[in-house]
Structure 1
């Protein structure tokens, strides 16, 4: 079957092993100093490990693969104790994988395994359950429901409606031609879809003076197309600089990986900057990569 599954760039991988420790499902192992996907059956394709990788060596791709087997995963995890089981259930819960959760519960019930705190987890009443499972691996909060109060910073009083800083159309990366005339000599902002909605001053602070393409590394199809297209924009489109703007959620790190792969593929070098934004719209990181 064709499904989303992780892909590891062995050249980028530095063998730190962080992703292996973070993959409770057991799909990854460290072999000859490199992280390897050793079992497609155990890879759920949700991409929580993307945020664990410090060098951006892990991305998501859609390809022919064996289907994920939750029963096999849970049968394996039962031997590792309650903390590992709970971490896995939390991972599924945060990604709204209700079918896999039901399957996992059936396996636990059939084997008379009871996990403390799981009922509380389902009710979302454990505020810091990661502290109870040993490993601070929160999965991808990108699909978890959250509410927070906007910043109490004194609002800026506008004298009128703020003008848009968008200078071209289209903006979705699949739709933008690498040969578009507006790319020539441009500073290109590659922004994750959610960024503009999370940052109050997106247009004035981040988009002004730049050309824009948007993409979602978790939900969009054709990641290889993105890599090749960005490489063409560097080589033939004549862009001046590349700035990738992503959210703090782990799955969003895939967009940085896409830009880095494009930078490697291109024969011409352009500087690459990373801007990382918190869920509340605060700038967490702003640096040249």
Structure 2
């Protein structure tokens, strides 16, 4: 039944898809769809606007309009469905018959002694061997209890950062890296996984390497919130990559050279 009531309105022109509103909507009424925050259904929004103050772009406001009545039962079912969706699923088999999410740990030689790798056709000659020490690297595929996470120094990078930062790979020696897109990935499943990692893996420290563009701030927000929810004292630092490929200061600037 429709009625005139208060409900959240999202200005898609202002929204940059950072996702900071999602964890602050207790009803699970908001989702990132095609890079923009959108209401899943009117009946899931209580109209109280708890998400408003967390939008850095001012894209959210409460208005009055005709909408379906707020439905607590629908909210309960939606939250249960979201919780179920966060549970790990078996990795799909690829066409070649090998699951792409199988975990591997590679024994890498020390960076200084790493031999050069041959150049691939169309690519510049590599100056050293890869410093990647594990597989997979997509955050959505890495289990929260992956063995290579135990006691690790972790780099959580936006998908674009390794492309923009020229020597990204050479900075990885001994670190676990995971990549995700804060604009096009759904951040809600990541939150539970990151909280579990912070609580159970005994991480030494975490660095967030993100792009300078506004939508990328969502990755920093997600990791910092997960650390806070986990109740641990694992340090989390932010490093920012410009579109010109320069590494600039986020938080804890004085440690940048030693840590990444």
| TM-score with structure 2 setting the length | 0.53
> Does the alignment pair 1:198 with 2:164?
yes
Alignment correspondent of 2:215: 251
Whether the 8 Å contact between 2:198 and 2:232 is mirrored in structure 1 is yes
Distance (Å, rounded) in 2 between the aligned partners of 1:271 and 1:226: 19
RMSD of aligned Cα (Å): 2.8
Query: For structure 2, which runs of at least 5 residues remain unmatched after alignment?
Result: 1-5, 24-29, 32-38, 43-114, 118-125, 254-260
Which structure's residues are more often helix, by fraction? 1
SS of structure 2 residue aligned to 1:255: helix
Q: By how many angstroms is 1:280 displaced?
A: 0.9
Q: By how many angstroms is 1:285 displaced?
A: 1.4
Distance (Å, rounded) in 2 between the aligned partners of 1:45 and 1:200: 33
Query: For structure 1, which runs of at least 5 residues remain unmatched after alignment?
Result: 1-37, 51-55, 67-157
Aligned with 2:181 (options 202, 216, 219): 216
Q: By how many angstroms is 1:43 displaced?
A: 2.2
Q: Alignment length, in residue pairs?
A: 155
Distance (Å, rounded) in 1 between the aligned partners of 2:229 and 2:223: 10
Alignment correspondent of 1:230: 194
Distance (Å, rounded) in 1 between the aligned partners of 2:243 and 2:21: 22
When structure 1 is superposed on structure 2, of 183-192 and 231-240 the one drifting more is: 231-240
Residues 80-129 of structure 1 deviation map (CA, whole Å, 9 limit, x = unaligned): xxxxxxxxxxxxxxxxxxxxxxxxxxxxxxxxxxxxxxxxxxxxxxxxxx
Distance (Å, rounded) in 1 between the aligned partners of 2:247 and 2:7: 37
SS of structure 1 residue aligned to 2:228: helix
Q: By how many angstroms is 1:238 displaced?
A: 1.8
Alignment correspondent of 2:144: 178
| TM-score with structure 1 setting the length | 0.48
When structure 1 is superposed on structure 2, of 251-260 and 161-170 the one drifting more is: 161-170
Residues 176-206 of structure 1 deviation map (CA, whole Å, 9 limit, x = unaligned): 001011001100100000000001100113x
Q: By how many angstroms is 1:46 displaced?
A: 6.4
Q: List, as ranges, runs of 4+ consecutive aligned residues in structure 1 with deviation greater than 4 Å.
A: 56-61
Alignment correspondent of 2:59: none
Alignment correspondent of 2:241: 277
Q: By how many angstroms is 1:288 displaced?
A: 2.7
Q: By how many angstroms is 1:224 displaced?
A: 1.8
Whether the 8 Å contact between 1:59 and 1:254 is mirrored in structure 2 is no
